Structures are given as C-alpha cells and as structure tokens.
Structure 1
Amino acid sequence: MPGTLYLIPNTLGPAEPDALATILPEQVQAIAARLDYFVGENAKTTRAFLKLVGTRHPLAKPLQEIQIAELNVNTPAQALAALLEPLLAGRDAGLVSEAGVPAVADPGADLVRLAHQHAVPVRPLVGPSSLLLAVMASGLNGQSFAFNGYLPTDAEQRAKRIRELEQRSRKERQTQLFIETPYRNAAMLEALVAACQPGTLVCVATDLSLPSESVRTMTAAKWKGALAAGKGPEFHKKPTVFLLLGQ
C-alpha cells in the first residue's frame, strides 16, 4: 500500500510558537510532527517550519535526521518520480510550501498530480491561504474570482494586462487577484492606479494573518489621491495580494 501525501500549510510569515495555535490547527501540527519525509520549496525554510512545530509537538526524529527533498521552479520534471518513490514504498510524506497552502501558486501541484496518477492518497490539511483571506477581507465579489499569478514586469505589457483583467472583471463581475514580488509592490499599485478606471475597486492585502496585517479597499481614484498625499500602504518588501473589481 502506498503512503499518504499530506498537504501541510505553512504560516504566511514569521510566527512565534505561542501564535502557532491560532494559525494552524493542532491536528495539522501533530501530523507534521510525526512525519520524517518532507518535500518543500526550500530545505532551510522547511526546517524552520518543523523547528517551530517542534516547540509544541515532539518531532518523529531529530530535525537533522528528517529527510527533506526540494521541489521548486528549478526542479526538472524528470526528478518528480524520485520524490514520489518513498510514498510508493509505503512511507507517508508532507508537502510544505514556503508560505500558506501547498500546490496553490506553488510548484507542489506537479507532485500532487503525479501522486494521483499513481493512486497515492492525497490529503489536504487546513491552514492559511493568503488568496482566500484576501478575498474574504476585500469586500469584493467572493462568488466569482480568479487568481492570475504574477503580471508582466514590463511596464507597457503590465498596463495592458491590467486593462484586460479590468475589462473581464467588469464584464463578468469577477474579482481578479494577482501578486507581485514584494519589493515591487509600490510599482504595482502605481500601475493599477494609472491603468484602471477611476471607479474600479482596488484592494491591497498585506501580511495577512500576521500582527502587521493590513487590508484596504478603495476606488482607483481614491488610491491615486492617497498616493499623491503620501498615504499609501506600508507594504515595501511585505507579501501582498492585489485585487480589483471593475464597476
């Protein structure tokens, strides 16, 4: 019998041990603690996550003896089979993202698909998703929404893509979500203000679930005024989700 692939959510940023219980259910922590094989985007951050879990639940083995394999954007497709081999041999494993839930805006989806192809049980566990938290807190349409990943870095192409998403949003009444490399957050908001119609709603959701959390929804026109007055969000180098809804 194959093992089970557990999809283990991570925190959305640095968390103190005392705060872990408010972010991840005890059952999730307990499952993570009993596993000795993990697949993560980065071995260092996966160890940091396990070290945090270990402050509340004894780990199955000393941290240095727990096997951690990396799966990220640089992992070749032909390497996935080797990552799955321990599960096919009957060993349970945990798939851990850098932040939030694995396999959503995350290379782990490729391993999950391969697991299904080989009849390996896949069990998703409850935890924070920045995308869903952003939709919840935005006040925008939660009945229909789409995540678009990263927009083009080229200014002209980015503006074109924003206008396309705005048009689709207005036509379908669909909230559009996207993210940006944290050090380019300010450039993204400025691009939104410049490309969107004045009445389009724009939400900026930063550091969700963390003590520094901030969520603001305003029209593009009001955001333009706030930026001109130097009252933009404090989101430099902070993980941020951007949302828009055309009116």
Structure 2
Amino acid sequence: MAEAGILYVVGTPIGNLGDFSPRAREVLARVDLVLAEDTRHSRKLLDHFALRPRLQSLHEHNEREETPRLLARLQAGESLALISDAGMPLVSDPGFFLLRAAREARIPVRVVPGPSAVLAALAASGLPSDRFCFEGFLPAKAAARRAALQALASETRTMIWFESPRRITETLADMAAAFGAERSAAIGRELTKVHEEILRDSLGGLLAMLQAQPEKCRGEMVLVLAGAEKGAASAGEQDLDRLLAPLLQALPLSRAVAVAVQISGLPRKQVYGRALELKES
C-alpha cells in the first residue's frame, strides 16, 4: 500500500507489458496522483491493467511551473507517482526538478525499479559492460553532433545513446569518422517488442547494413559503442594532429589553436589541450 507524503518513481514497460511488475501496479493503483509525460499514452497502459488513478501531465514545458504545486501536495500528505512513457523515469525524461525539490524539502522518495532500454541494450550488445556511460540523445544538428562525438574520442568506457531512426545512418557515418569505421558497435531496435532485433557489427558494417536494408531504420533505437582502447588515438584525434602539426610550426600557440578551431569546428578547449600536448612532446 502506498504511504502518504511520498514521491514514487515507477518504472514501466519499454515494450512487453509482461514486464510491468506487481509492485509497480500496486503503487499506481493507490497513489493520489500519477504524473505522466503523455497522459494519453500512459492511460492506455493503465487501462490495460484496469488501473484508474488520477493522471496529470508533467513534461519539459510545464515541469518548472508545476513543481511548486506538486510539492505542496506532497507536503500536505498526498502520495504521488512519477512515470515516463516507457522505462525508468528521469532517464532522458522529465522529472528532475520535482525530484530535486522533494529531496530539498526532505520528502521521502521511493524508487520502484522497472525495465530500462539502456541496460537491456547494453546486456544484449555483447560489448564490455563492466564500465559504461549513458550519453542520452546526440544533438540533431550535424555540426553540434560531430563536436559532441569528438569530445568523446578518448572515452574508454562503453557508450550508449538513444537515437532517432530518422538520423541513425547520419549518426553512424559521423561516428565512423570520429572513432574509426572498425570500432565495434550494436543497435538495439524495438527492444522487448514483437520485432525486437539486435544488430552487431563495426560502425562501418552497421552503416552499410542499414543503407542496404532501410526497413531496419524503423522503431525505437538504442546505440551501443565500444570504448577506445587505452592509449589509442581515434580517427578524429589523428585528423586533429595532422591539422595542428604544421600550424604549430608556423604560428604561435594561441593563433594555431584559433585557426584549427575555425577549420575543424571542434571545441576550443579540446583543440587547446591537444595543442599543448603536441608542443610538450
């Protein structure tokens, strides 16, 4: 039974309704209010299990405005549950401002664990899972996306992203340029659903596969990438070194960095750091 004055963070299925835990259903049946990113989507899930709690939208456009009112309800002794459209709330989903406010107000927060697309994709990828990092969504614009990838050029942990099927081939091409086409990767497509598929290959191999079979560019996708080998320079780092070497010979450090930033589009901090390393070596 849900306790009063508690904020519950409740995991929901990412596809297969059989993954909806009994504890999650019990909590959602008894709280005073369920906060959902899309109430129409969540109502279908709740109706399937004959759950009829009060629903309210909480999304990126109203979270800051609604948090004080929701906090007041919690302080008055009501119990609230936060859910997302699929999987665990707060993972690239709204809810952070409310959760932080509840913690600061010393309101108990209880997590009801559930399915996670991030962990499901990692487990199925066949890539190292002892150390990994979740990077959310990459920027939609090409220049910003490439800069974000370049900033991860030396990351040795396995990396995980959510990606839109509309951009998956562009992202794979940018990753092949930044990390090398031979870097091992996997795509978890439609995880736990009827058409679930795990695609495993190199970045170049996955790109060729999706270009040849565009029907695989459909559904919700999680992209998993092997980390860099320790001490190995990525393709992006090698390109930067080739750009910086003659500039450092001909120009003062600050000017060489400025020119390299203008040409490459990379963050100045990254270029400056690499320029210092090359100077010292």
> What is the match of residue 142 of structure 1?
129
Tell me the amino acid that sits aligned with residue 204 of structure 2. Answer: A
SS at match of 1:119: coil
SS in 1 for 2:98: helix
Give the aligned length: 226
Q: Gaps spanning 5+ residues in structure 1: where?
A: none
What letter corresponds to residue 7 of structure 1 in structure 2? Answer: V
- Name 2:259's counterpart in structure 1: none
% same residue: 27
1:239 is matched with 220
Counterpart of 1:159 in structure 2: which amino acid?
Answer: R
Partner SS state of residue 110, structure 2: strand
Q: Bigger CA drift: 87-96 or 31-40?
A: 31-40
1:62-81 equivalent positions in 2, closer than 5 A: 63=52, 66-75=53-62, 77-81=64-68
RMSD value over aligned CA atoms?
2.2
Distance in 1 between residues matched to 2:91 and 2:142, nearest whole Å = 26
TM-superposed deviation, 1:122:
0.9
What SS is found at the alignment partner of 2:161? strand
Match of 1:168 among 136, 149, 154: 154
1:218 deviation in Å? 1.2
Distance 2:166 2:69 in 1: 35
2-structure distance, mates of 1:141, 1:149: 19
Q: Does the aligned pair in 2 maintain the 1:4–1:120 contact within 8 Å?
A: yes
For residue 42 of structure 1, report the CA deviation from its aligned partner.
Answer: 1.7
CA distance in 1 between counterparts of 2:208 and 2:165 reads: 22
Displacement after TM superposition at 1:77 (Å) = 1.9
**TM-score calculated relative to the size of structure 1:** 0.82
| Partner residue, 1:123 | 110
* SS of corresponding position for 2:136: strand
Q: Does 1:219 align with 2:202?
A: yes
Contact 1:4 1:87 in 2 (8 A): yes
Structure with more of its chain in helix, by fraction: 2
Q: How does 1:148-187 map to 2 (within 5 A)?
A: 148-165=135-152, 167-169=153-155, 173-187=156-170
Instruction: Choose the corresponding residue for 1:52, options 28, 48, 54.
Output: 48
Residue deviations 1:70-121 (CA, integer Å, cap 9, x gap): 2111115243110222221111111010111112211112211111111111
Is the 2:63–2:97 contact (alpha carbons within 8 Å) kept by the matching residues of 1?
Answer: no
Q: Which runs of 4+ in 1 moved over 4 A?
A: none
Question: Given that residues 63 and 95 in structure 2 are in contact (C-alpha distance below 8 angstroms), is that contact kept between their aligned partners in structure 1?
Answer: no
The one of 195, 205, 215 aligned to 2:188: 205
Q: How far apart are 1:227 and its partner, in Å?
A: 4.1
Task: Tell whether the 8 Å contact from 1:84 to 1:115 is kept in structure 2 after alignment.
Answer: yes
2:49 and 2:24 mapped to 1: Cα distance? 10
User: Structure 1 residues 205 and 158 mapped into 2: Cα distance closer, same or farther (>3 Å)?
Assistant: same
d(CA) in 2 for partners of 1:196 and 1:160?
Answer: 12
- Higher gyration radius (CA): 2
Structure with bigger RCO (C-alpha 8 Å, 6+ apart): 1
AA paired with 2:223?
Answer: F
SS at match of 2:81: strand
Once the 2 structures are TM-superposed, how far is the Cα of residue 127 of structure 1 from its aligned partner? 1.0
Give, as a single letter, the amino acid of the residue that structure 2 aligns with 1:177.
I
Q: Which amino acid aligns with 1:92?
A: S
